[in-house]
Each structure stands twice: as structure tokens, then as C-alpha cells.
Amino acid sequence: MVVEEKAMDVDDNQIIDEATPKEQKIYTLEILKIIKEAQQQHGLRHGDYQRYRGYCSRRLRRLRKVLKIIQGEKRHFKKKDVSPLMVSDDKFLQVLLIMAERAWSYAMQLRQESNTERRKKFHLISRLRKAATYSLQLQELIENVNCDARTKLEAQAYVAWMHGSLHFELQLWKKAMENFKKAQVVYGNLAAALPESEKIMYNARVEELSPSLRYCAYNIGDTTAIDDLMQMRGQLSGELLASLDSLIAQTREKHASSEVMWRGKSCGNVPSRAAGLLIADSRLNQTLEKATSNQAVIDLLEAHLIDCKDAIATVRDHFKNELKKDSEKTSPPQHLLTYLQYIKLSRTFERNLALVKAAEESGKAKPEDFVRLYEAALHNLVEISQLQDDKDFLQEHEAKTKAYRAFRCFYMAQSLANVHRWHEVMALYHRSLEHIKDALHYTKVLPADLIETLKNLHTSIEGAQCAAHARSVLEEGQEEDSGINKYTKSKKPLYERLHEYREDPALLTKQPNVYKLPPSMQSIPCKPLFFDLAFNMVEFPDLSDKLGYPAKKAGQAGLTGFVKGLWGWGNK
């Protein structure tokens, strides 16, 4: 009976222990924060995916060693997956995350190498499949263990982003767009729920997904997406800009035509890089119209100019032999090169005008700044006019040159007006009016907005001429009333003009111009380097005969001669 009672007590204790709920540990894995910090510290700041891949391998080896899930011994391999029953720490969740990151970084490394070796494209896709598989395993593991809501949401967004990258490489645009959109929505909601200190990283991920989404939309059938991509180019930097450039380049090469005409002449067979640039140039005006600010216009034009430079270099390398043989510059490759140079110079001219507009909007620019910008624009027009001998072409750019010379003269006059050089100011205003008059003779070739601007400039110059003339007359009258003359304006100190009388108010200030200190240097004879010490020992010959002196007589050598010589009287 005693044994039975003890057994009953044990069973009751076990029932009580099982009925008491134990506090389960909640696991947290900040996926985006972990991978972003690791990427920035181990190579991806400079686009070195191989270095990041090596870090992932070393990190994975350390995690398996610490968690005691090493896969076999030195000679034998035995695979050990992370199961929900094994999870007792957050580090177990990091194992699958690092495995997915290692496969993804290897795929990105292969993407860089696939530009020269096409066969690596297949290896790239297999690595992305592996990364997507590991991300799914990570999501299943997080769902089966006790993790917080943020970890689950981050796992869903990470899986969607990884599958979107895989479908993007497979050119499954609809599936890729769905996954990217899902990841963007989840990251956007997380950013809205998190504090300000952690919100920046998630907003950056949302912006990173925008170019890929627009590219997928374009390939699905949205023709306006490529314009949005071009507009986004001026707003991104770093890795996002590099990925966007690759997307735009792929679109250009996909839709590039084999033959291009310019000014009624064929450019021949155009390389894909140059053809892509021509397509981008044809769409650039529409993109510029959609720009929200003048700075965005400048950024788009500068990015386009970089592409122009690369395209010109590509054409020169591609048609190196043909360009050397073409002495008269009439071949299609030379015509294509001229066309690309025209695009580069014309877009540079537009960029300079956009800088002028930005300076006007800022209100802080000086007239000298406008003179410099218009000087650069005129230089572009001169270079453009040297590209072709066509009469209409030359007439158009000659009219633009005269128009913008008027603007340059106007701002040069304003610059000289600040230093009160009124004669030069009046001459420059007159020259500006002459340029406007010459430019308005070509109203058929000038744009309507430029003609309107020239008319407004003509009105401004007429008013500025009257103001300059009035100020010059007033200053002359003030000089006569106050006794200021040319001597007052001189910078001579007081000691040099003591013979002149005038009232100089500057002498009553704290720094009167009385004497120049330190005094100016004066030239003096040079001191000899050596003294002639043998001069006192030299006996010079007697030259009295040659000089006409009479010789001494012998009779005067007595006592009388001595006395006469002693007292200073007698014969010499």
C-alpha cells in the first residue's frame, strides 16, 4: 500500500508539472539589417561579390562549429540540416540565411563574369535557384519555431525578393514583377511601423526595387516605363545606378535598329552601344519634359553625356581601320562618328543653358558667372558649326551664335557697370543690340521661345542704357561738387604731393595715406668683394717729363734750399 501511495504521488506531481505552461523563448532575426551590415563591411560597398562570398563561407563555418552541427569529419561528409527541434538560439536561423547569401553572392559574381563568358549564365541561374531554395527553407523554419511578427514579415519579403531576382534572370517578367511588388509592399509596411533610426534602411530597399519593377513593366507592355527609367537615372547613385544602367543598356540593345539616317545620309551598320545611345537620345526630350526640377534636367543631361563619350569611344574602336583610310571623311562610319559628336555637343549646349536657368533661379549668381556660362555655350555652337558644310546647318547655328552673343555682351556690360566703367558699358549695350538685330533676321530658323527671349532682352537693354547714361552723368556732377579730381583718385601718398593743396578726407581716417611704409627699394653701388691691399706698396714711375714739369736743379740742394723749403717760401 505504501508503494502504491508513493506512485500515486509521483503521478500527481507529473500531472501538475505538465499542466503548468512553460515560457517559450521568442526568436528574432533582423534579416535586412544583418545582410546589409555584412555586405557593407565585406566588399559590396565596392561591388566585390567574391570577397562577400568568402566572408559568407567563413561565417557559415564558424556558426556550424559553435552550434555543433558540423557536417561530417575531415574525410567523410554527412549532411546536417537545421530542423525546428534543433533551434535553441537565434544563430540557428542565421545558418540558412548565410547559405542563401553565399549562393546569391556567387550568382552576382558570375553575372559580372558573364559579360565575357556567356556559358557562366547557366551557372548563375543555378546559383540563384539554390539561393531561392535556401530562402524558402529559412521561411519554413521561421514559421515552425516561435518567432516574432517582424521576423516572419522580413522572411516573406526576403523570399519574395530572392524569387523575383531568379525570375528576372529567367526573363519571366510577370512573376518577377509580382515578387518584387510583394517585397516592396512588405518592406514599405515595415518602414512605416519601425522607428526613425531603423526606417532608412527599409526605405532604401523600397527605392532599390523601383528600377527593376519599371523594367519588368516595360517588358510586359508598358511603353512609358523606359522613360521613367531614364528619369530615375539622375536620382540614383552607387550600386542602384549601376544596376539601372545595365537594365537600360539591355533595353536599348533589344530595340536597336541596324541602320540609322542623319541629315539624309546613312550611317551604315551601327554598333549596339551606339544604337542604344541613339534610342536613348530620341527619348531624352520626353524624359526631360517630365523632370520635376531644373537640377533633375542637369543630372539627366550629364548622365547622357557620359553615355555619349562611351559610345564615341566604342565607334572609334570598332571602325578603327575604316576611319584611318577615310581621308575625305565621307564614309558611313565617319558620318556616324560626326552624328555622335553632334549629339554630344548639342546636349552639352543644352546642359549649359540649363545651368544658366539654374543660376537665374538661385538669384545669387553674379554677371561674371553668366558670362562664363554663355562663353561655354558659344564655344559649343562654334564646334557644332564645324561638323557640317551644309548651308542650312551653318545658317541655323550662325543665327544661334549671334543670339547668344547678345546675351554674353549684355552680362559683360552689367559686370562692368558694377565697377562704374560707363564708356565700356554703353559700347557693350550697343554691341548687344547689334547682335539681336542680326539674329532676328533669321526668324525662320530660330526657335520661337528664343525669339521671344531676344525681344525681351532688347527691351531690357534699352532701359539699362538709359540707367547707365544717367548714372555716368550723376557721378561726373558729384566729382565736380565735392572737389574730387584725377589727383584725388590717385594713390600717391601725402609726402609726394606736398606742393598741391586740396582737401583729402582720407587723411582724417584711421589709415591715412601719408607715407609709404615700408619704403620702396632703391638701387645702390655694389660693394667690392676684394680690396687691393698691394696698392700702398707700389712705386709708380716718375711722369713729370711727360706732364711738362721742369726737372730739379742740383744747386738747390744746399742749406738755403732746405730753409726755403721748410718755411714755404722761395722757389718751388
As a whole number of angstroms, the distance between CA 376 and CA 355 comes to: 11
Residues 38 and 169 in one domain: yes
Cβ neighbours of residue 300 closer than 8 Å, sequence gap 6 or more: 230, 231, 233, 234, 284, 287, 288, 291
Q: Domain boundary residue among 411, 442, 474?
A: 474
What is the chain's length?
572
CB atoms < 10 A from the CB of 284, how many? 20
Cβ neighbours of residue 8 closer than 8 Å, sequence gap 6 or more: none
Residues 190 and 205 in one domain: yes
SS3 519: coil
SS3 147: strand
Residues 148 and 179 in one domain: yes
As a whole number of angstroms, the distance between CA 473 and CA 479 comes to: 10
Residues 343 and 303 in one domain: yes
Give domain status of residue 539, yes or no. Answer: no
Residues 356 and 442 in one domain: no
Residues 342 and 400 in one domain: no
Phi/psi of residue 261, nearest 5 degrees: -115, 140
Residue 438 is part of which domain span? Answer: 388-474
Best CA proximity match to 292, nearest among 377, 228, 364, 346: 228
Distance (Å) of CA 40 to CA 48, 248, 410? 10, 26, 52
Q: Domain boundary residue among 436, 451, 474?
A: 474
Give domain status of residue 182, yes or no. Answer: yes
What is the signed CA dihedral for 285, 291, 296, 300, rounded to 10 degrees? -30
Give domain status of residue 129, yes or no. Answer: yes
CB contact at 8 A, 343 and 308: yes
Give domain status of residue 487, yes or no. Answer: no
Task: Per-residue pLDDT tens, the chain, 572 aa: give them.
Answer: 444 444 444 444 444 344 434 456 788 888 999 999 999 999 888 889 999 999 999 999 999 889 888 887 777 888 888 888 888 888 888 899 999 999 999 999 998 887 777 788 899 999 999 999 999 999 999 989 888 888 888 999 999 999 999 999 998 988 999 999 999 888 988 888 888 878 888 888 988 888 888 888 878 876 555 555 555 444 444 444 444 445 445 544 444 444 678 877 888 778 877 877 888 888 888 888 888 888 888 988 988 888 888 888 888 888 887 777 765 567 888 888 888 999 999 999 999 999 999 888 888 888 899 999 999 999 999 998 888 888 888 888 898 999 999 999 999 999 998 888 888 999 999 999 999 999 888 888 888 888 899 999 999 998 988 988 888 888 775 655 444 444 445 678 888 888 887 777 888 888 888 888 888 888 776 666 666 667 667 787 888 887 776 655 544 555 555 555 555 555 54
Residues 159 and 230 in one domain: no
User: Can you give the pLDDT at residue 329?
Assistant: 64
Residues 343 and 444 in one domain: no
Helices (H), 149-236: 149-169, 173-193, 196-220, 225-233
Give domain status of residue 452, yes or no. Answer: yes
As a whole number of angstroms, the distance between CA 542 and CA 539 comes to: 9
CATH number (domain holding residue 448):
1.20.58
User: Can you give the pLDDT at residue 565?
Assistant: 55
SS3 572: coil
Q: Which residues pair with 27 in a beta bridge?
A: 147
Cβ neighbours of residue 299 closer than 8 Å, sequence gap 6 or more: 233, 234, 235
SS3 194: coil
Q: Domain boundary residue among 442, 458, 474?
A: 474
As a whole number of angstroms, the distance between CA 415 and CA 371 comes to: 9
In one-letter notation, the amino acid at residue 327 is S
CB contact at 8 A, 185 and 204: no
User: Can you give the pLDDT at residue 404?
Assistant: 92
In one-letter notation, the amino acid at residue 456 is N
User: Can you give the pLDDT at residue 194?
Assistant: 81
Q: Which residues pair with 501 in a beta bridge?
A: none
Cβ neighbours of residue 84 closer than 8 Å, sequence gap 6 or more: 141, 144, 145
State the DSSP H helix or E strand holding residue 369, giving kind and residue range, or none if neither.
Answer: helix 367-385
Give domain status of residue 91, yes or no. Answer: yes
Residues 197 and 228 in one domain: no
In one-letter notation, the amino acid at residue 398 is E
Question: Is the torsion defined by CA of 161, 167, 171, 174 positive or negative?
Answer: negative
Question: Is the torsion defined by CA of 156, 161, 164, 169 positive or negative?
Answer: negative
SS3 260: strand
Residues 37 and 184 in one domain: yes
User: Can you give the pLDDT at residue 469?
Assistant: 87
In one-letter notation, the amino acid at residue 460 is S
Helices (H), 20-119: 31-41, 49-67, 90-113
Q: How many domains, in total, are found in the chain?
A: 3
Cβ neighbours of residue 297 closer than 8 Å, sequence gap 6 or more: 288, 291, 354
Region of residue 265 (left: phi > 0; alpha: psi -120 to 50; beta: else) = beta
| Numbers of helices and strands, H then E, in the chain | 21, 2
CB atoms < 10 A from the CB of 419, how many? 9
Best CA proximity match to 400, nearest among 439, 343, 355, 443: 439
Q: What cell was used for 46?
A: 565596392
Cβ neighbours of residue 197 closer than 8 Å, sequence gap 6 or more: none
CATH number (domain holding residue 98):
1.10.3450.40
As a whole number of angstroms, the distance between CA 372 and CA 404 comes to: 12
Phi/psi of residue 505, nearest 5 degrees: -65, -20
Q: What cell was used for 517?
A: 611704409
Give domain status of residue 97, yes or no. Answer: yes
Residues 203 and 227 in one domain: no
User: Can you give the pLDDT at residue 562?
Assistant: 53
Distance (Å) of CA 331 to CA 317, 345, 544? 16, 21, 99
Residues 64 and 144 in one domain: yes
User: Can you give the pLDDT at residue 328?
Assistant: 58
State the DSSP H helix or E strand holding residue 472, giving kind and residue range, or none if neither.
Answer: helix 448-481
Q: Which residues pair with 265 in a beta bridge?
A: 262
Give domain status of residue 63, yes or no. Answer: yes
